[in-house]
Amino acid sequence: MSLAEIRSSVGDSTLPPLRCDICIVGSGPAGVTLAESLSGTKLRVILLESGTGERSNFADSLNQIENVGRPRAEQWAVRNRILGGSSHTWGGRCGDFDDIDFEMRDWVPHSGWPFDRAHMEPYLDRSARYLGLAQGSGYSDERFWQFAGRHPPDNDLDKEVLIPFFWQFSRDPEESYPYEYRRFGRNLDRKLGSNITLVTGATVLKVHIEDTSNSVKSVEFATQDGHSKLIAAPVVILCCGGVENARILLNSDSQNPRGLGNDYDQVGRYLMDHLRGPIGSFDVSTTAALQKRYGRYNVDGRFFRAGFRLSPTVQRRERLLNCASWLGEIRAPDDPWDALRRIVGGAGRLPSDVFSVVSNSNLLVRGIKDHFAEKNGVPRKLSALTLECMIEQVPNPDSRVTLSEKRDHLGMRLPKVDWRSSVNEARSMHAMAHLTAGEFARLGLPIPQLEQWVLDKADLPDSFVDVAHPTGTTRMSAEPSSGVVDENCQVHGVPGLYVSGSSVFPTAGHCNPTQMIVAMAVRLSDHLVSNASAGSDELSARVLVDAV
């Protein structure tokens, strides 16, 4: 890998000529996975990143939005304009989509993927090495017990109502902390081949196409001082997340005032995320066994968290959306494990941390047994225990990203975000809460006290904001009248222009999107290499030139 960091236009003449067959925009999980997958091939690849290796106020300012819809989280929690992208703030959770997530469901308008889950399984398996997973598929349901070498519970949930689900946490074996998640911007010099050039400090403004063929011609980017440059490239892949992918396409209006891929006004529509929050709570003092059953499991140095999801049977019968639940642990300020970690790391708050360790030594003793003998997560001292729920959203064409009249420091129009929720999401969460309470009562487990908004069958609280999973704004579709990219993630009507990431998902499923994002990037890499092997004229090399 070679590196070019552009902080301003001054001194650009000292840069070597940058030539590429493929230009990847964005260095988050999708962009870096593509670059890694294409490493060692004969394809010359440029990986562009707006930020640098360090967070900066200037880069953060480029993530401003004009929000006109449902309340949203602070932007740094959602969009990281830095090398590694959103992997800087993700929680490492990975999950496998369900069969029903790919289906066309008559009670979920605009649902249905162009392929089924079985088609994605080989790519999910291959995603494991990019994410540091123990296994890429087959771990998220009752098969977990066999995979983990454990006996399943004697009495378990009724699979016609709720189905066991296990999230797996990413792990980066190259990091000193043994359970650090994969941060995609780290150690790229060792991961990317000599055919990859990483360019940082380059904020993409728009993509240009040929006047006659509509095929990709170049990418225009700006340096931090506002000067623009062009990279001529026959293939461009946008990997900038659900908000920015749509923004770049809409801003690419040199030939068409509506932007690229937007002849049918589809770019930016169907914005989804995951609504997540508590639907119930427990008395902490009576839930030790429950915490152990639905806590963390250690399998060969990888952590898994247990939970459950709505069964397809219930979804079809009650016409519900897919959702999942787990225990939300709120650790007490005097949790002994947190105190012990601070002391060992030299950041202990003395004498309070020593007191926390001594006064809660019973949890430490239990934790040693749980961790080393039973291969579970250690028991924590909690101040509260909630029943958390995360749900997919109905694809709504009026929930969308458009362009604001306001502009950022580089003159690019801000994204105007109108994110919406529906009554179906609240209704499905109500059902999950009541079904969980019923199943726990049947099994003799502690019964959650349901939240008042659930008991009142009210709408979702405003505190249920987005969880950094923007989805659907450049969705896959068979026809350009109903989406933005085809099943190979190429923008309809624009040869050589691709989009990668959760923005291409037609529906969001109930689980965290990162593993599916990486699996889809691996799939796209195969498509690009196959095209190159077939001698596609998309992949003729171009040269970096100054913008006119």
Give the C-alpha distances (Å, rounded to integers) separating 407 from 357, 404, 411, 413.
Answer: 52, 7, 5, 4
Angle in degrees, CA 278, 282, 287, rounded to 5: 130
Residue position matching structure tokens 């959770």: 93
- pLDDT, average across residues 510-526: 97
- The token pair at 349 is 């708050």
Instruction: Give me the pLDDT at residue 373, please.
Output: 66
In this prediction, residue 331 has a pLDDT band, given cuts at 50, 70 and 90, of confident
- pLDDT, average across residues 436-454: 97
What whole-number distance in Å separates Cα of residue 206 and Cα of residue 219?
6
- Which amino acid makes up residue 8? S
Q: Taking a C-beta distance cutoff of 8 angstroms, is the pair 245, 253 a contact? A: no
- pLDDT, average across residues 257-261: 96
Instruction: Give me the pLDDT at residue 10, please.
Output: 54
Q: Taking a C-beta distance cutoff of 8 angstroms, is the pair 147, 313 a contact? A: no
In this prediction, residue 534 has a pLDDT band, given cuts at 50, 70 and 90, of confident
Q: Taking a C-beta distance cutoff of 8 angstroms, is the pair 223, 8 a contact? A: yes
pLDDT above 50: residue 418 = yes
What is the tens place of the pLDDT at every residue in 81-92? 999 999 999 999
Tell me which of 39-53, 65-79, 317-331, 532-546 is least confident: 532-546
DSSP E strand boundaries for 342-484: 382-391, 400-407, 413-418, 449-450
Q: Taking a C-beta distance cutoff of 8 angstroms, is the pair 388, 326 a contact? A: yes
Between 72 and 413, the more confident residue is 413
In this prediction, residue 14 has a pLDDT band, given cuts at 50, 70 and 90, of very low
pLDDT above 50: residue 544 = no
pLDDT above 70: residue 429 = yes
CA distance between the termini of the chain = 29
Task: Name the residue among 545, 548, 544 with its Cα closest to residue 44.
Answer: 544
pLDDT above 50: residue 40 = yes
pLDDT above 50: residue 244 = yes
Is the alpha carbon torsion for 401, 405, 409, 410 positive or negative?
A: positive
pLDDT above 90: residue 9 = no
What is the tens place of the pLDDT at every residue in 140-162? 988 999 999 999 998 899 999 99
pLDDT above 60: residue 226 = yes
In this prediction, residue 11 has a pLDDT band, given cuts at 50, 70 and 90, of low
Backbone phi, psi, residue 28, to 5°: -80, -165
In this prediction, residue 434 has a pLDDT band, given cuts at 50, 70 and 90, of very high
pLDDT above 70: residue 3 = yes
Q: What is the pTM of this model?
A: 0.92
Instruction: Give me the pLDDT at residue 34, please.
Output: 98
Tell me which of 77-86, 229-238, 388-397 is least confident: 77-86
What is the tens place of the pLDDT at every residue in 301-322? 889 999 999 999 999 999 999 9
Residue position matching structure tokens 């640098």: 52
> In this structure, what DSSP letter does residue 134 have?
S
User: Judging by beta carbons within 10 Å of its beta carbon (0-12, 13-18, 19+), is residue 44 exposed, middle or buried?
Assistant: buried
DSSP 33-101: HHHHHHTTSS--EEEEESS-SS--HHHHHTT--EE-SS----HHHH---STTGGGGT---EE-PPPGGG
175: left (phi over 0), alpha (psi -120 to 50) or beta: beta
Q: Taking a C-beta distance cutoff of 8 angstroms, is the pair 380, 331 a contact? A: yes
What whole-number distance in Å separates Cα of residue 335 and Cα of residue 177?
20
Instruction: Give me the pLDDT at residue 351, please.
Output: 84
Instruction: Give me the pLDDT at residue 5, please.
Output: 80
Instruction: Give me the pLDDT at residue 98, please.
Output: 95
Residue-averaged pLDDT of the chain: 90
